[in-house]
Every structure is written in C-alpha cells, then in structure tokens.
Structure 1
Amino acid sequence: MTARVLVVDDVDANVKLLEARLAAEYFEVRTASNGPEALQICAGEGTDVILLDVMMPGMDGFEVCRRLKSDLQTQHIPIIMVTALDQPADRVKGLEAGADDFLTKPVDDLALITRVKNLARLKLLTDEMLMRASTEEQMGFAAAMNEKLEEAGRDGRVLLVEDRDHAAERIIAALETEQRVGLQTDPVSALLEVPDGDYDLLIVSLNLENADGLRLCSQVRSLDRTRHLPIMIIIEPGEEARLLRGLDMGVNDYIVRPVDPNELLARVRTQIKRKRFTDHLRMRLEETVEMAILDPLTSLHNRRYMGSHLNTLFEEAAQRGRPLALLELDIDHFKAINDSFGHDAGDAVLREFGKRLKRNIRGIDLACRLGGEEFVVVMPDTDREQACLVGERLRQCIAKTPFFGGDATGNIDVTASVGVAALEFPDDTPEIILKRADQALYCAKRDGRNRVVADAA
C-alpha cells in the first residue's frame, strides 16, 4: 500500500535515512526539520502518518504531538514517536501526549515498515469513518462518531495464548488497565474458542513450550470466521526469520521481549481500532446494499431487485426447460383502509401483508413489493396449476385472520386479489409474463376481488 508520510527530525542524516527506507516501499514522503514546520505542513496538506523525533531544539516532539492531537483538523493523524531514549518514562510521556506508537533509534527496517503500514491502514479507515460522520452531521451523529473514534481502541476483547505463567501474568497485568483479557495455554483450545468468542485481537507467543504459535496463526487466518481477526505475535530478539514468516501469512503486528507495557498498550489499541472500524464499515456496506434491494417498509425485495432477479430466473428456466410461475397480488380497497384508519394503520397492514407472504412461500421463491399495495411472488420450478394453488393459499391466509392496525384502530379485515401467469410459450419474456399476470389481476379485481385468476393463455 502507499501513504503520505511526514518525517520530522532536526538531524538531516536521520531524515534522509528514513526517507530512503520509506521511498523504497513506495510511500510518498515529506520532511520537516522542526516542530513549527511540521505543524504547518499538517495543517495545509493531507498527511497519513507522522514519524516524529522526540529530541528537537525549541519545540520537542512531545509538544508537537500534543498540539496535533488537540487540533480537530489533525487529531486523527497517527503519530509514531522516534527516540534514542529507550526509557519507560519517555513512552509514558509520549502516550500522554497522544502518540500512537514508538520506534527506538537505530530504527529497524522491518519495524519501521510494519508500524507505518499498520497506522496508514488505520488512518484510511478513520478517514472513511469521519467522512460518513460528516455526511450524517445534520442528523446529530457527528459528535457521537468523534467520541467513538477516541474510545474505539479501549475495552476490547483480547485472547492471549501463552503457556508460561510469569510471562502471561505480566502481559495480562499491562493489558487489563484498558482491555478485557482472556488466557489460553493450549493452541488447540484457543482455535476452538476464537470463532465464538467475539474477540477484537489475538496475541500469540511464538515461544510456546509444547506447540508452534505460527501454526495457530496460520489456522486462524484460514478460517472464514476469523479471517479478519487482527493477530499480534510476541517474539524473542533475533527471531527475524520466524517474524517474516508470520508477517507473510497475515500477522498484523509484533512485539519483542522483554515486553514494554506502554508499547504493548499502544499497539493493541491500534489493532482494536482497526478491527472495530473495519467491522463498522463492513456492516454499513451491508446495510447500504440492503437499502438498495429491499423495500424499507416490508423488508421484501424491491421492484428494482425483482427486475434483475426475474431476468436471471427466466433465463435459467428457459435454457433448462424448467417451469416458472409468477403471482401478482393487490390488496383490495387499500385506499379505503388509509382513508378510514389513517396511513399508520395502512403501513401496519403492508408490513403484516409482507410477513404473511414470506411465511407462506418457499425459501427459493422471491417475494417483492412492486410499490403501493402491489406485490409479486416469483416461483422457480412451478407451473401454472401449482401457482394457482399457492395463490389460493395466500388469498386464504390473508382473508382468514384480520390485520392489527394499531392500538387506536384495532383489527382490520383485509382481502387480496391474485393474478397468475407462467412461462409457457417460446416467445415469452419476463415482461410478457409480468403483463399477463397483471391482466389476470385486473380480471380478479373486475370480477369481484378476493379471488385468484390465472391468465387466459
């Protein structure tokens, strides 16, 4: 992937070294030699990740970080603090200033690229979330979205796989300040637990005494239900070969022993944010797709979906010589229901009508709302006579039990007229069959309503 990375350091040699490493991975790199210049760049142009040196004259990295995180325009840009001071106090200070991750000089190439890629992906997801929040601002969602973004990396469900008691205790103690942590000592048990555990992150030690942690990572990645679960591995110094294998198979991040609690918290927070943002956007995408093909009132498929799906079913039936039938239903005197009981009662009738349709047809049948009080049921592998029986069953289930129109209205007697048509002639098309069903429905209405009429083919 590519991203816009800002490197901030007052030492020109450090800047050129980081710039060369990042450019080799096709990142777009900007540089700044001091804090004020970095703030100006971030305010004026898009930046995805900031590599920020701590020790700079005038305004140090901590102050730059605080200012960026306090500005609404720049607070969501991920910041990696780069320092030669490998002291816990500096990492605590960095976290308090709002840093998202840490790198210690001399910067390891693999650590640099892994951290930048992780945070660039997080920034991409954050931008998408903020864009959606801004389009919903008039509905009052933007403030709530900003609050969710700030807290999204905390209170996650984390499963730790570690079979050494002392190591597990230290990691759990660090994580429990922000997360909910479960422990498994056996990878087989962990693999069984992860799919149903609703976890936000899996942390696997690669130094298990009686098992291969990388095999567990591979198995988790291969399962459909856990394919998108973030995985972090814990390694010993000098295990670069195993680390590279893990990253190749889809491990998201790693941490080297001895584990620094503040570094662990920062990286866990990043992975949980990514997981939650991804889940949210995936859910919104599914909702958008549903909105495009479903009628919002009845939850049946809409006319637009019916048109394309009917064409597909028709082509399959015509090619294989299989029957295909169609019912068109119309609620009798629906305008009178609206006029007498109000539109709320009319909507209640439409919703219940949709439910009764779905309960009385097969799973392979397609029930759609054409619009208003008109509905269509498309039935594969069904001839005209069978369709008439289904139509009669639907007519009876609608007329037999009154519809509840609401507390103020009570029960309402409802009937429906049904027109039936089927694929019967070589020159039939979906449009012709639908027109014949519509003509049959007109006949049912003309002849007294509350009846099933087949087309006169």
Structure 2
Amino acid sequence: MRLGRGHDRARLVVDDVEANVKLLEARLSAEYFEVRTAPNGPDALQICTREGTDVVLLDVMMPGMDGFEVCRKLKSEPRTQHIPVIMVTALDQPSDLLRGLEAGADDFLTKPVDDLALVTRVKNLARLKLLTDEMLMRASTEEQMGVATAMTTGLELAGREGRILLVEDRERAADRLVKALETEQHVTCEPDPARALEAPDGNYDLLIVSLNLENADGLRLCSQVRSLDRTRHLPIMIVVEPGEEARLLRGLDMGVNDYIVRPVDANELLARVRTQIKRKRYTDYLRTRLEQTVEMAVLDPLTALHNRRYMSSHLKTLFEESAHRGRPLSVLVLDIDHFKAINDTHGHDAGDAVLRESACASSAIIRGIDLACRLGGEEFVVVMPDTDIDKAYLVGERLRRCIAAAPFFAGERHGSVEVTASVGVASLEFADDTPDLILRRADQALYCAKRDGRNRVVADAA
C-alpha cells in the first residue's frame, strides 16, 4: 500500500512486550503511519533485510538478542545500515545512552514515551531516510551501488577530523563544548549568528547551535540555515536546557538533525557528532555520484564533449528559442580527414589522442553559449545560437586552420600526426526548417567539402 505521504515502507516497532507494541502502534497509526511489528531481534532483522523500513523503534531489554545487538547488526549490514534506529528504553543512565549511540542508534526515547516527541522524531528520521534512498536510486547503477556500499564500510573512522561551526555567545559554555570536541574534531566558535551565517569559508560538516544564546534566537538561525541553498544540506545539532521540550520539538520539526541536553556529557556529544559527520560525508558522496552519473549520461567519455543524445534534445530547445525570437542559429559539422588511415597507421590510441585534441581545439575557439558535441566516430557538431551563416563559416574556418596548423601529438610511442578536417555549415533560414533539416544540410555541405578535396569549409547554399 502506498501512503499519501509518499512512503511505501512501514515504521517497524520491535518489542517483546505486546502491550508496549500495541501502544506505539496505536500512536503512530493515529498519525497515518503504516506500522509493522516484530516480537524479537531476529524477526526484526529479517524484516529489515527482506522488506526494508523507514525507521526502526527498537526496545533495548529483550530476551536472547537485546536491542544493542540488533542495532549493531543492522548498522554492520550494507543493506540495512542506513535505516534510522530509535532505541526505546526505560534505561536512563548516560552509560546506557552512550552504549546505544556507539552501537549506531540515531536517537533514544525514554519510557513512558512522550507522544509529541515520538511523532516528531519519527518524521524527522524518516525524512532523512527518504532523501538518502532517493539519492541512492538516482545516483547508482548496480556497480556504483557496490562502490557506494564498499565506501560506507570504511566510514567507521570517518566521523572524526570534521569541521564544526559552533554558535554559542556565552564564553564559559563555549569553552566547555570546544574542549570536548577538540579531542576529535576541528572547531570554529562564532558567538554572532549573523556572522556564522555569512561565514566566507563555509565548508563545514556540522553546525552546533545553542538554543540559549543571550543576544539572538538560535531557532531563527536554524531556520535560516535550512532556507539557504548553500547550507540546506548542512547537518544541525542544537544544545538545549532541560525542560525546553517545546523549543526542541520546534527545532526538530524545522529540520534540525540532532540535539543534546545540558549538562552535556562529553562522550555522548562526541558519539552524536561522529554519527552526524559520517552521515554528512556519505550523503555528500552520494550527491557527487549523482552529479557524475548525470554527466556520464550526457558527456562523451573520450572527449568530454556532450554526446549525441544530449545534442539531439538541446538542439531542439535552441532551435525553438531561435525560431520563436526570430534570431539566427547555425550548425557546424566537422569531420577529421582520413581518420581511418590514422587508426590503421598509428593505432587506435593515436586516433583517440587526435579526437581528444580536436575536441580541445573546438572548445577553445567557440563561445560559452555554443554547444560542442561528439556526434560519433570522428564527427563533431557545434550548435551556435545568434549566429548567421556567414559568421558560422568564419568559425568553421578558424577551426579548420587551428587543426591543420600544427601536427597533433599522439603520445610518446606515435609522436606527431598530421591532421586536417573538413567542415560543413548550415543555418536556420526557412519557416519550415527543423533541427533535422538543418543538420542534414550541414552534413551535405560536409560531403561537398570532402568531395572537393578535404581540409576546407563549405556553407550550405540552401
């Protein structure tokens, strides 16, 4: 069943006491969450591995396999390590909390569980899980998934040596936090939220904000950080005083990632910080993989020019814009002369080097608004908006001269190779012109250049 909220996986409640299960199930179902239950650790692990879940609410005190062991197993398995885990426990000692954090738990709820805290925390962690899942799905082929998974198994130490921006305007409170954090992290303390928001060197892994600033509103800073493009992915941890549940929940609802309550336990602080930094680095990695995947879909891997697929869609867009505005548009088709002979004589490595250098020459000559693509083989296309056929001819001639001017270096083994190119040019000229027609005319002009002796530019006479 697909929920209206966009989730189709349940929240999993794990507890060996049926009354506890029914209570949490009722509270979550009242918020329209889909809920699954498991009476023990092994069943929970099986559900997470086979079916997946958005958040696990995990009781600590269970017979056989306790919650700490279940959490460790979830976090050590590549298929389940990104599922957020909330430990639900009657234990309230700092040592128990630290043990859970070190096992990989994302948060703790103490029995009896507060309804508002439960719902807000589950929403927050489910939202983070959804974002991670979307990036994984969009950024990864099966091979990339393997790379990403292998990368995460090496993240155990990656939660250290992070760059943290601490916003605290009370000197003694700031000193205590900095002293605790500096054992593992690099900390910059900024008492002024406005300056923190405008920090010129903003490449931080985590923002820690005190909600008890004397001269500003810490929640307002959190809201501003979430609203800016350059900081919206930055994890935020807030430091709160006991009894500030209302402000804490407001912070979590606006996208704060984690919190710690004063008096701050140094070990708990470090454990929570490590968790946030590891998650930040992994999502940064996924975001980079996504960008690389998009590039791979539209770029030719040999020349780094756009590929035929991108050219086809983008040419259509540029053509429609030019036709609508009544502006000229020209297309240039360039072909390396006798390219087969270069491959046969010097080898395919030399041929590849010639193609790369030709692509570099094209990119150096054309404007930023022009679109250079490798159409396939030794053939290149340049699409030039706001360019009539006479100017396009001059661009083609400059390209031809550049390629013919000096031998191409084809590597230590092959030395220099003499290279020339033939060029055909066509432009948008008639009311019934289409992108395909212009390309066809440019290709016919290229054929004429080849037929007439190569190493020349021919403009389509239409």
Q: TM-score, normalised by structure 2?
A: 0.88
2:210 aligned residue (201, 205, 212): 205
Give, as a single letter, the amino acid of the residue that structure 2 aligns with 1:294: L
Give the 3 Å change call, closer, same or farther, for CA 154–80 of structure 1 in structure 2: farther
| Alpha-carbon shift at residue 379 of structure 1 (Å) | 1.0
Give, as a single letter, the amino acid of the residue that structure 2 aligns with 1:390: V
Give the 3 Å change call, closer, same or farther, for CA 409–57 of structure 1 in structure 2: closer
Match status 1:93 vs 2:108: no
Aligned twin of 2:237:
232
Aligned twin of 1:384:
389
| Alpha-carbon shift at residue 451 of structure 1 (Å) | 0.9
Aligned twin of 1:20:
26
Give, as a single letter, the amino acid of the residue that structure 1 aligns with 2:170: R
1:280 aligned residue (285, 294, 298): 285
Give the 3 Å change call, closer, same or farther, for CA 118–149 of structure 1 in structure 2: farther
Q: 1 CA distance for matches of 2:170 and 2:274?
A: 24
Give the 3 Å change call, closer, same or farther, for CA 16–180 of structure 1 in structure 2: farther
Match status 1:136 vs 2:143: yes
Give, as a single letter, the amino acid of the residue that structure 1 aligns with 2:28: L
1:393 aligned residue (374, 390, 398): 398
| Alpha-carbon shift at residue 111 of structure 1 (Å) | 3.0
CA contact (8 A) 2:124 2:255 kept: no
Aligned twin of 1:293:
298
1:186 aligned residue (172, 187, 192): 192
Q: Percent identity?
A: 79
1:30 aligned residue (3, 26, 36): 36
| Alpha-carbon shift at residue 400 of structure 1 (Å) | 1.0
Q: TM-score, normalised by structure 1?
A: 0.89
| Alpha-carbon shift at residue 60 of structure 1 (Å) | 3.7
Q: 1 CA distance for matches of 2:86 and 2:32?
A: 19
| Alpha-carbon shift at residue 4 of structure 1 (Å) | 2.6
Q: 2 CA distance for matches of 1:302 and 1:70?
A: 40
Moved more, 385-394 or 227-236: 227-236
| Alpha-carbon shift at residue 37 of structure 1 (Å) | 4.9
> Structure 1 stretches of 5 or more lacking a match?
none
Aligned twin of 2:60:
54
Give, as a single letter, the amino acid of the residue that structure 2 aligns with 1:392: E
Give the 3 Å change call, closer, same or farther, for CA 23–269 of structure 1 in structure 2: farther
2:86 aligned residue (75, 80, 85): 80
1:246 aligned residue (228, 251, 255): 251
| Alpha-carbon shift at residue 47 of structure 1 (Å) | 3.7
Q: 1 CA distance for matches of 2:18 and 2:50?
A: 23
Q: Secondary structure at the match of 1:299?
A: coil
| Alpha-carbon shift at residue 36 of structure 1 (Å) | 5.2
Moved more, 359-368 or 80-89: 80-89
Q: 2 CA distance for matches of 1:251 and 1:295?
A: 41
Matches within 5 A, 1:347-386: 347-386=352-391
| Alpha-carbon shift at residue 418 of structure 1 (Å) | 1.0
Give, as a single letter, the amino acid of the residue that structure 2 aligns with 1:169: D
Give the 3 Å change call, closer, same or farther, for CA 403–385 of structure 1 in structure 2: same
Q: 1 CA distance for matches of 2:330 and 2:49?
A: 62
| Alpha-carbon shift at residue 450 of structure 1 (Å) | 0.9
> Structure 2 stretches of 5 or more lacking a match?
none
Q: Secondary structure at the match of 1:7?
A: strand
| Alpha-carbon shift at residue 32 of structure 1 (Å) | 3.5
| Alpha-carbon shift at residue 293 of structure 1 (Å) | 1.4
Q: 2 CA distance for matches of 1:35 and 1:250?
A: 30
**Alpha-carbon displacement from aligned partner over 1:26-85 (angstroms, at most 9, x marks no partner):** 333233444455455556643443322233455543344455556666555443222222
Give the 3 Å change call, closer, same or farther, for CA 142–327 of structure 1 in structure 2: closer
Q: 1 CA distance for matches of 2:31 and 2:161?
A: 34
Q: 1 CA distance for matches of 2:14 and 2:107?
A: 15
Give, as a single letter, the amino acid of the residue that structure 1 aligns with 2:56: I
Count of paired positions? 455
CA contact (8 A) 2:148 2:286 kept: no
| Alpha-carbon shift at residue 221 of structure 1 (Å) | 2.4
CA contact (8 A) 1:102 1:263 kept: no
Q: 1 CA distance for matches of 2:79 and 2:312?
A: 45
**Alpha-carbon displacement from aligned partner over 1:154-197 (angstroms, at most 9, x marks no partner):** 4432211112233223333443444333221221221122x633
| Alpha-carbon shift at residue 248 of structure 1 (Å) | 4.5
Q: 1 CA distance for matches of 2:391 and 2:77?
A: 68
CA contact (8 A) 1:440 1:455 kept: yes
Moved more, 282-291 or 43-52: 43-52
Q: Secondary structure at the match of 2:230?
A: helix
Give, as a single letter, the amino acid of the residue that structure 2 aligns with 1:306: M
Matches within 5 A, 1:416-435: 416-435=421-440
Q: 2 CA distance for matches of 1:140 and 1:73?
A: 11
Q: 2 CA distance for matches of 1:36 and 1:329?
A: 64
CA contact (8 A) 1:313 1:380 kept: yes
Give the 3 Å change call, closer, same or farther, for CA 332–71 of structure 1 in structure 2: closer
**Alpha-carbon displacement from aligned partner over 1:109-153 (angstroms, at most 9, x marks no partner):** 33323433444355556667888888228x973773242354454
CA contact (8 A) 1:125 1:277 kept: no
Q: Secondary structure at the match of 2:332?
A: strand
Q: 2 CA distance for matches of 1:279 and 1:412?
A: 43
Q: 2 CA distance for matches of 1:44 and 1:300?
A: 42
Moved more, 197-206 or 148-157: 148-157
Q: 2 CA distance for matches of 1:202 and 1:227?
A: 11
CA contact (8 A) 2:135 2:290 kept: no
Give, as a single letter, the amino acid of the residue that structure 1 aligns with 2:96: D
Aligned twin of 1:120:
126
**Alpha-carbon displacement from aligned partner over 1:235-293 (angstroms, at most 9, x marks no partner):** 22333443344344433333332233444344334433432333222222222221221
CA contact (8 A) 1:122 1:273 kept: no
Give, as a single letter, the amino acid of the residue that structure 2 aligns with 1:157: R
| Alpha-carbon shift at residue 226 of structure 1 (Å) | 1.0
